[in-house]
Amino acid sequence: MTVKELKEELEFYDEDAEVIFNFDDPSVEVESWTEDKYGYKTVSIDCNLKPTFIGEFRGDMRIELGKEGAE
């Protein structure tokens, strides 16, 4: 799924909902991460990700990510 396709998918959800990305794969190492003054994090990893789940969870938009090509 491309970024454009992901943005189109997100247009169907409530604008007030938070978007939560979840990625939990111990085989992928985080190269670096930063956090801004509002607590938002930017993470740099060395692999391609794809959404494995997109849906509403407790009123928020939840997107679970997996490694591209992983079974």
Strand pairing report for 60-67 and 49-57: antiparallel
Coil, helix or strand at residue 3: helix
pLDDT score recorded for residue 38: 92
Per-residue pLDDT band for 58 (boundaries 50, 70, 90) equals confident
8 Å CB contact between 20 and 41: no
Number of compact structural domains in the chain: 1
Q: Rounded to two decimals, what is the model's pTM? A: 0.62
In whole angstroms, give the CA distance from residue 63 to residue 51.
6
Per-residue pLDDT band for 3 (boundaries 50, 70, 90) equals low
pLDDT tens digits for 5-53? Answer: 777 777 776 677 777 778 888 888 888 989 999 988 888 888 888 888 8
- Per the structure, the complete domain to which residue 22 belongs is given by 3-67
pLDDT score recorded for residue 42: 85
